[in-house]
Amino acid sequence: HEMSHGFDNVGRLFGPNFEMSSWWDNITIRNYKKRADCIGRYYHTYTSAGRHVHSNQTLEEDIADRGGLHLAYLAMQSALAGERH
């Protein structure tokens, strides 16, 4: 989860030396925004105490959660297959 923050909607704005810079090309940015919008729409369907999650306020965490879950799933698949790294 925490490592995924380097690629969330804020972390992606920082370069390799922690300076704010736009280091992605326009095609990458456009594709990223499409995927981030998809995650935002998905999390907006969640409710808590009868209210929708405001995914525009939680997008950083939503992206990091998605990244963490994906890596955990890949690790589980690897472990079940008996792979060693």
Catalytic residue among 8, 19, 37, 65: 65
Catalytic residue among 2, 19, 25, 83: 2
Look at the chain and count its residues: 85
The C-alpha atoms of residue 4 and residue 67 are separated, in whole angstroms, by: 6
**65 given a catalytic annotation:** yes
**19 given a catalytic annotation:** no
Query: What is the dihedral angle through the alpha carbons of 85, 67, 4, 14, rounded to the nearest 10 degrees?
Result: 130
Residues annotated catalytic, as ranges: 2, 65
